[in-house]
Amino acid sequence: SDMGLWHKKIPTEILQAGSELCAIDDRVAPMADELVIEKKRASGFHGTYLAGFLRAHGVDTVIITGVTMAGCVRHTTEDAIAEGFRPIVVREAVGDRVPGVTEWNLFDIDAKFGDVEPLDTVLKYLEGCAAA
């Protein structure tokens, strides 16, 4: 597997492309012309062409949502800042299976790696981008 130790630590064999467990929620499904990048590590950046794609399109900020907070969300956030982007994590749009993990990681990310913002603030930011 090209998933390294991650594959040995968690049951990644159940995470098959096209399966219900990997399906994108219809409420946030991409439009036909939107890019979907399949990742094989916790970060959306590591081992993908995401950073290059974003740079080529003049993007300087990434908005991060998802699960798991201590895994995919955190690693994507840390890699985003390492790649030179401004990461914004949406407080109400992240979660984890372990109580307390989400709040601790949000605190730590906001202190060191990015901005943690409430959904209303992020929506206003996006409205401003659309109007520009």
Catalogue the active-site residues.
Answer: 72
Closest CA to 22 of 87, 66, 78: 66
Task: DSSP letter for 71, please.
Answer: I
Expressed in angstroms, the distance from the first to the final Cα of the chain is: 44
* Residues whose CB falls within 8 Å of the CB of residue 129, separated by 6 or more in sequence, listed in order: none
Mind giving me the DSSP string for 100-130? THHHHHHHHHHHHTSEEE-HHHHHHHHHHHH
